[in-house]
């Protein structure tokens, strides 16, 4: 879970003042205030523990993360005057008083000096196998930017292991827990395995989807050849989504499905298969979705926020009104400095009825004058 973040791009001057996060965070505010950029900044931090500082410009940040029952504060300064850039300063403190990493000219780990290590790689990546650092690395690795997982309505499965396999003579089946740990598999492949190996959980997912779209009576994730369409031979290594709708006598599959209906299905799959202590990011939840499904999808997110942290942006009244104002964070920008305020700290929002909250929000001076 992300507890707080402060970030500055020292090359451009863009700065996010220290911002705290809860289990569910809905970033609201006028266009251009910096909502998407906050998500992009967190994506950037995640990329740097996999790709190193070559993906970064000069910047610094202070990130606090709760992981494995501990609280980590990770402070970083990156200098990018040459390629690749380098981590010139890192400090990792656990539970406020235990210095794990102190990296500058000399690299100390738990008080012991380490040999000179690659300056373009973060301490979190370099020390991920250490018990003290591993939980922090795993927590950031579980950040899921959901929009990036919404892919084409079919996928080639030849590069993925779909059968149960054996390790040291022991069978390892595709259980729900194993699927939740399999972050590298595309969402459609995980849904296919869920359907094959966990029929009860897949049936629950199908029921929730049909509640959102009552005209849909059935869903199947299958190989192209399983969906009869004419006499053409169809490959058995491509899987796709098929749906049955009232009044339609055949399976509707793949490219014939609306992008909005497919997107909602993928969101539900990801919610069902995301491991606890993960963080899910969604930029502009309403994109490509009809107003009829937004309240139900928001309700699914609320239900899941007991186990998974969400950081979401939206402009849409259906989304904003579906999520109580205690989860709103108002984003404003003065020049290149971005500030995020909890809605509960704004007295004007504490007087409106639930149906008036969105109107009250967009009429706030902080919202109307939120970019200056």
pTM for the structure as a whole: 0.88
Cα separation of 346 and 361, whole Å? Answer: 10
Cα separation of 65 and 1, whole Å? Answer: 6
> Which structural domains are found in the chain, ordered by start?
1-142+276-372 (3.40.50), 151-274 (no CATH)
CB 105 within 8 A of CB 113: no
Mark out the alpha helices in 182-306 (DSSP H runs). Answer: 187-197, 199-212, 259-273, 294-304
Cα separation of 314 and 281, whole Å? Answer: 12
Cα separation of 253 and 242, whole Å? Answer: 4
DSSP 37: H
Which pLDDT value is given to residue 33?
Answer: 92
Cα separation of 111 and 104, whole Å? Answer: 13
Q: Cβ atoms within 10 A of the Cβ of 242, count? A: 21
What is the pLDDT tens value at each position of the chain, 372 positions in all? Answer: 999 999 999 989 999 999 999 999 999 998 899 999 999 999 999 988 877 766 667 899 999 999 989 999 999 999 886 666 789 999 999 999 999 999 999 999 999 999 988 888 999 999 999 999 999 999 999 899 987 556 678 888 888 888 766 556 667 788 999 888 887 788 899 999 999 999 999 999 999 999 999 999 999 999 887 886 655 667 788 899 999 998 887 888 888 888 888 999 999 999 999 888 899 999 999 888 888 888 888 888 888 888 899 999 998 888 888 888 889 999 999 999 999 999 888 776 666 665 566 677 776 777 666 675
CB 65 within 8 A of CB 45: no
Token pair 């107003």 is found at: 291
Cα separation of 292 and 290, whole Å? Answer: 5
Which pLDDT value is given to residue 173?
Answer: 84
């Amino acid at each position: 879970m992300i507890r707080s973040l402060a970030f500055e791009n020292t090359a451009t001057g863009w700065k996010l003042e220290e911002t705290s996060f809860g289990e569910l965070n809905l970033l609201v505010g006028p266009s251009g205030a910096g909502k998407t950029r906050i998500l992009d900044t967190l994506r950037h931090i995640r990329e740097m523990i996999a790709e190193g500082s070559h993906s970064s410009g000069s910047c610094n940040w202070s990130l606090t993360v709760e992981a494995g029952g501990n609280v980590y504060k990770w402070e970083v300064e990156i200098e990018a005057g040459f390629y690749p850039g380098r981590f010139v300063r890192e400090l990792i403190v656990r539970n406020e008083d235990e210095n794990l990493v102190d990296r500058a000219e000399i690299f100390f780990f738990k008080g012991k000096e380490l040999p000179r290590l690659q300056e373009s790689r973060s301490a979190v990546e370099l020390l991920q196998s250490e018990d003290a650092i591993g939980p922090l690395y795993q927590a950031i690795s579980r950040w899921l930017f959901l929009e990036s997982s919404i892919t084409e309505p079919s996928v080639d499965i030849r590069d993925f292991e779909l059968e149960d396999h054996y390790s040291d003579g022991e069978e390892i089946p595709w259980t729900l827990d194993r699927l939740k740990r399999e972050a590298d598999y595309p969402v459609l492949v995980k849904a296919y395995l869920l359907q094959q190996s966990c029929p009860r959980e897949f049936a629950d997912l199908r029921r929730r989807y049909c509640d959102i779209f009552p005209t849909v009576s059935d869903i199947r994730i299958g190989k192209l050849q399983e969906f009869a369409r004419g006499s053409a031979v169809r490959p058995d290594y491509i899987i796709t989504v098929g749906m049955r709708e009232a009044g339609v006598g055949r399976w509707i599959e793949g490219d014939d499905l609306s992008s909005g209906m497919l997107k909602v299905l993928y969101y539900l799959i990801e919610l069902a298969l995301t491991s606890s202590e993960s963080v899910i990011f969604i930029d502009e939840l309403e994109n490509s979705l009809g107003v009829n499904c937004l309240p139900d999808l928001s309700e699914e997110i609320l239900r899941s926020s007991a186990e998974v942290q969400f950081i979401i942006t939206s402009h849409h009244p259906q989304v904003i009104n579906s999520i109580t104002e205690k989860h709103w964070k108002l984003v404003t920008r003065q020049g290149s400095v971005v500030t995020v305020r909890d809605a509960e700290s704004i007295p004007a929002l504490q007087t409106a009825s639930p149906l008036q909250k969105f109107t009250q929000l967009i009429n706030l001076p902080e919202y109307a004058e939120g970019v200056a």
